[in-house]
Amino acid sequence: MKIKTGIGFDAHRFVEGRKLILGGIEIPYDMGLLGHSDADVLIHAIIDSLVGPALGRDIGNLFPDNDMKYKDIDSRILLKESVSLIRKAGFEISNVDATIIAEKPKMKPFIPEMRSMLADVMDIEIDDITIKATTTEKMGFTGRGEGIAAIAVSTIIKSFRQP
């Protein structure tokens, strides 16, 4: 058995005129995040934490932001494809632990729905995904309310079973 751990990070700035999508759900807010896809920083961080150790690649290699096929795409589709790729490589997800870094909006009310959505998309138990939220106490771009960041750590396992 081989156990690998990966880390992922993503950040996007706020803009008017877009929906705020985090963890695959829409969060009521007067701004959304700017990005080529739906700019779901949480899912993007999770993808990097999974495909890094399994495939030696990152989200930008798999889903380039200069490919119009991915313009405004739902990041849940990207996550589902990423999970499929790591499973084809022989890995299973043990757990995902993620943190959203945002001054506003408050994330706590939305975390249970995010966990449920992500567990469903990744086809893992809800207890195998943890999502936390924090602020930076008004410091930096997230603290000034200019955007949102997320970080994720995942553990994946590859079995070496004999036929």
CATH number at residue 109: 3.30.1330.50
What pLDDT sits at residue 72? 85
Residue numbers belonging to the annotated binding site for a divalent metal cation: 10, 12, 44
> Considering the entire predicted model, what is its pTM?
0.95
User: How many domains is the chain built from?
Assistant: 1
Residue 141: phi and psi, rounded to 5, are -65, -35
Residues of each annotated binding site: 10-12, 36-37, 44, 58-60, 63-67, 134-137, 141, 144
**Residues of the domain holding 132:** 2-158
| Model pLDDT, residue 90 | 95
In a domain, 46, yes or no: yes
Tell me the average pLDDT of the chain. Answer: 95
> Would you say the C-alpha torsion 44, 50, 89, 116 has a positive or negative sign?
negative
Q: Nearest to residue 82, comparing CAs of 104, 63, 109, 106? A: 63
| Residue 146 resides in a domain | yes
**Position 144 in a domain:** yes
Q: Is residue 163 part of a domain?
A: no
How sure is the predictor about 163, in pLDDT bands with cuts at 50, 70 and 90? Answer: low
50 located within any domain: yes
* Backbone φ, ψ for residue 154 (5° rounding): -130, 150
Q: Is residue 52 part of a domain?
A: yes
Q: What is the model's pLDDT at position 122?
A: 98
Residues 6+ apart with CB under 8 A from 84: none
